[in-house]
Amino acid sequence: MSDFSIGVDLGGTNLRIAAVSTEGQLLEKITLGVKLALGRDHVIGEMCDAIQRLSDQYRVSGRFIGAGIGVPGIIDMETGMMRKSANLPGWSDYPVRDEIERRLGTRVFLDNDANVAALGEKWLGAARDADNMAMITLGTGIGGAIILNGKIFYGMSGMAGEFGHVTVEPDGVPCGCGNHGCAERYASATAVVRMAREAIASGAAPGLAKAAGSDSEFSAESIYKLAIQGDAEARRIFTRFGQALGILLADLVNILDLDMFVIGGGVVSAWDSFAPKMFAELRERSLVYAASAPEDPLSKKEGASAQISAYTRKKTIITRALLGSDAGLYGAARIPMS
């Protein structure tokens, strides 16, 4: 007998729904393709059907506590409405939370996707032993979340943790947010592809040009593959990536002085190619990190035991996320439990 909740991760391509027990056990996970083109009501309908089915199924063995939903966008926490979402046009100013609550007749919590990923890593992942942590998710853009004393720090308007739009280059590349030189213009999947295309256009990147010509899905992943094969231009791009991320981290460490900074998202799989420059930059630019860095931040040791030993010596731990793409599912499921 185990009480459970439902976590939902609404991404740009997939809608994933999981039943998770209060002990953190994944009971069942459903992955549905998101047909955004069919409209908001269609997506919400599919989501509610899946939540209903899972909750009916596991109610036999435990109490259903509620549902948590992670969405890509800025949420008004009081009203449960989406203020703005680049990936979900047509969802703005719609009472998402109240509508789902009405259909399901259960408690529903809505939060930003980066926040739920941080909650997942805090509950069951890399940050289990850190009460104060921040999470940086490297994907299409950069997501960010701050957890203080075990709770998400929302700021006045629910927008705290917009790390992707911190300036790392005063006269840098324009960003959709209206600023120039935002971190996510240099350290995201989109940025990697942009830098590669620019290098190809300059005529100085034959390896990248060849890959782009033969690969219909010329992506950050294909550029990373070239980097690990030793292509100089591909390596330069990930060095630039690491530099921008290091500058961002130096600012965050100086301002927040948290126990742990967890780096997740799809592009974290390119860690080997950007982390050395990231740590070098961080060490050079952050007074706080220089005083609190572990001896070998690039140590291959991962997981809780490594973290605990380092943590008790009051070191600033900067580490990869452990839960991968499931962090958001676990984190969303965690919200109704607290």
Choose, by CB under 5 A, the member of 39, 102, 157, 177 that binds Zn ion: 177
Minimum CB distance to Zn ion smaller for 48 or for 245:
245
Question: Does 48 interact with Zn ion (rule: CB under 5 A)?
Answer: no
Minimum CB distance to Zn ion smaller for 144 or for 207:
144
Which H or E run contains 68?
Answer: strand 64-71
Which span sits near Zn ion by CB under 5 A: 113-121, 164-172, 189-197, 286-294?
164-172
Q: How far is the CB of 201 from Zn ion (least distance, A)?
A: 23
Residue 290 contacts residue 241 (beta carbons within 8 Å): no
Residues 124-163 touching Zn ion, rule: CB under 5 A, are none
Minimum CB distance to Zn ion smaller for 67 or for 166:
166
Choose, by CB under 5 A, the member of 26, 27, 148, 175 that binds Zn ion: 175
Residue 100 contacts residue 71 (beta carbons within 8 Å): no
Minimum CB distance to Zn ion smaller for 182 or for 250:
182
Q: How far is the CB of 274 from Zn ion (least distance, A)?
A: 20
Which span sits near Zn ion by CB under 5 A: 76-84, 97-105, 154-162, 181-189?
181-189
Choose, by CB under 5 A, the member of 69, 130, 182, 226 that binds Zn ion: 182
Question: Does 248 interact with Zn ion (rule: CB under 5 A)?
Answer: no
Residue 258 contacts residue 134 (beta carbons within 8 Å): yes
Q: What is the C-alpha to C-alpha distance for residues 272 and 83, in angstroms, rounded to an integer? A: 36
Residues in a beta bridge with 264: 137
Question: Does 165 interact with Zn ion (rule: CB under 5 A)?
Answer: yes
The strand pair at 74-76 and 64-71 is best described as unpaired
What is 261-300 written as a DSSP string? EEEESGGGGGHHHHHHHHHHHHHHH-HHHHHH--S-TT-S
Minimum CB distance to Zn ion smaller for 179 or for 190:
179
Residue 221 token pair? 């992943």
Contacts of 53 (CB under 8 A, 6+ apart): none
Residue 95 token pair? 């009472």
Residues in contact with Zn ion by the rule CB under 5 A? 165, 175, 177, 179, 182
